[in-house]
């Protein structure tokens, strides 16, 4: 049986994989596990993005929480890091975000935060899952009367979060033209206003959510539009968020992408110049480009890699009190300011780093501190129940070894199952783009051939 929680909470197609019944169970069991040592009536912050299914799942989730005796502080549409921040601000016992991040509208997810605003460790998630699967949980006496939790609506929460970000920005963007793509998601109402209030001329796109268009041909996973708008309007920079605004992909003044690795390199150099890069170390994942590793060596920094998932980056950062970490996908954690990846905060700190090099500084020049190696990624569509079978198959191990020998020391191969989707991802880096494209597609064919024989195993 596969684990209920993936690398970023519980996620799946709404009303098929993630049903109202499961949302109720997650709320009920989560409230018990996260507040079991509470000696007062527990309170849990709940926020959501703009997906059409958020109403359905949110109602069930809140019913589960309140039936377990905890109050819900419902803060409406808000970026994921806003839920983490409000959980700390109001000293709530936990926070929950309803979102499938960068996925399209038919998906949704439920992710939990501790009272301290951190994503839950695997052990706590496993405890919630175990309680859901414990038949005695549903045999317990139901709470009644004043023991039932209540729903408290606090829809000004997103504005409070925006005001908090503005208060810590320390930034004057007067004279700067910025394109902001909110992916028709959780940042649509607050991000454009924030950057306008900081003095920028803002061109906002992806700010008309209808429940179905979140992440559709826009946002951090589809930067073609924002690149076009930057060129058409001679903008200084583009900021592309995903559906829940916990990640940022920047686009420079030439319309070229600056992914999470490039942003990490720029932020590391800026922090180091100000004496704030703890132990001169960056924490990234196995997916980060070799170019970031080369940059850190040249600068005298250390790069520590973790498994994929910003939760694992954060765990490593907390172990040794590192202040900077993140993923190529745009999840950047700035531990001095936040407990989780925060796309809008990352944008503020990136703009600070650019401005710190002078008002005439251009991101297209600053980004040259890191040279990316050619990289390609392809996805093999693999049902969750086949992932372990394919990953441990001898044919795949042999195929990877053969292609690693072809690349030699000038490249690397990473094959890993997605934690949130029915995919096995094949990532290859090397010096020849055409070669690595061919090798990646060959490995995808090997995986698909293995899976076609799954029933014969």
Rounded to 10°, the helix 157-169/343-355 angle is 20
Q: Is 59 a catalytic residue?
A: no
Separation of alpha carbons 6 and 359, rounded Å? 43
Residue 450 β-bridge partners: none
Contacts of 28 (CB under 8 A, 6+ apart): 64, 65, 67, 68, 137
Q: What are phi and psi of 390, to 5 degrees?
A: -70, -45
Alpha-carbon gap, residue 422 to 436, rounded angstroms: 23
Q: What is the DSSP letter of 374?
A: P
How far apart CA 440 and CA 285 sit, in angstroms, is 20
The single-letter DSSP state of residue 428 is E
Concatenated DSSP letters for 70-86? -EEEEEEE--HHHHHHH
The answer to whether the CB of 110 falls within 8 A of the CB of 97 is yes
Active-site choice (99, 101, 220, 288): 101
DSSP letter (8 states) at residue 152: E
Please report the sign of the dihedral spanned by the C-alpha atoms of residue 330, residue 311, residue 317, residue 166. positive
Tokens representing 274 are: 């100000």
Contact 262, 372 (CB under 8 A): yes
Q: Contacts by 407-410 with C-beta closer than 8 Å and gap 24+?
A: 407/436, 407/439
Q: How far apart are CA 190 and CA 79, in angstroms?
A: 9
Compute φ and ψ for 83, nearest 5 degrees: -65, -45
CB atoms within 10 A of CB 275: 7
Kindly list the catalytic residues.
101
């Amino acid at each position: 049986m596969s684990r209920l929680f993936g690398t970023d909470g519980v996620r799946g197609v709404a009303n098929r994989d993630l049903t109202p019944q499961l949302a109720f169970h997650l709320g009920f069991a989560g409230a018990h596990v996260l507040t079991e040592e509470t000696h007062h009536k527990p309170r849990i912050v709940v926020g959501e993005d703009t997906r059409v299914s958020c109403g359905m799942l949110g109602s069930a989730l809140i019913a589960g929480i309140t039936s377990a005796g905890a109050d819900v502080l419902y803060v409406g549409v808000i970026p994921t890091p806003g839920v983490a921040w409000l959980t700390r601000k109001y000293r709530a016992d936990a926070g929950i975000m309803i979102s499938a991040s960068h996925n399209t509208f038919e998906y949704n997810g439920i992710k939990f935060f501790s009272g301290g605003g951190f994503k839950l460790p695997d052990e706590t998630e496993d405890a919630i899952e175990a309680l859901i699967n414990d038949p005695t949980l549903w045999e317990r006496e139901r709470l009644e009367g004043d023991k039932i939790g209540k729903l408290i609506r606090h829809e000004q929460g997103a504005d409070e979060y925006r005001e908090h970000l503005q208060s810590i920005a320390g930034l004057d963007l007067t004279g700067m033209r910025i394109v902001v793509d909110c992916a028709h998601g959780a940042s649509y109402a607050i991000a454009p206003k924030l950057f306008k209030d900081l003095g920028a001329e803002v061109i906002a796109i992806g700010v008309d959510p209808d429940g179905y268009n979140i992440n559709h041909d826009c946002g951090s996973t589809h930067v073609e539009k924002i690149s076009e708008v930057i060129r058409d309007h001679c903008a200084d920079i583009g900021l592309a968020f995903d559906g829940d605004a916990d990640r940022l992909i920047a686009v420079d003044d030439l319309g070229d992408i600056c992914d999470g690795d490039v942003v990490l390199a720029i932020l590391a150099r800026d922090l180091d110049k100000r004496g704030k890069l703890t132990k001169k170390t960056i924490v990234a994942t196995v997916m980060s480009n070799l170019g970031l590793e080369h940059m850190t060596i040249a600068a005298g920094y250390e790069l520590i890699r973790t498994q994929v998932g910003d939760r694992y980056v954060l765990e490593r950062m907390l172990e040794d009190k590192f202040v900077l970490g993140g993923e190529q996908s745009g999840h950047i954690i700035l531990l001095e300011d936040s407990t989780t990846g925060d796309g809008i905060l990352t944008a503020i700190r990136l703009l600070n780093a650019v401005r710190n090099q002078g008002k005439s500084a251009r991101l297209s020049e600053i980004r040259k501190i890191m040279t990316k190696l050619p990289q390609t990624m392809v996805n093999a569509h693999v049902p969750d129940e086949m992932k372990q079978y394919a990953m441990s198959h001898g044919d795949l191990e042999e195929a990877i070894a053969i292609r690693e020998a072809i690349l030699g020391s000038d490249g690397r191969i990473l094959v890993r199952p997605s934690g949130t989707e029915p995919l096995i991802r094949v990532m290859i880096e090397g010096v020849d783009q055409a070669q690595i494209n061919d090798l990646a597609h060959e490995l995808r064919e090997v995986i698909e051939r293995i899976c076609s024989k799954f029933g014969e195993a």
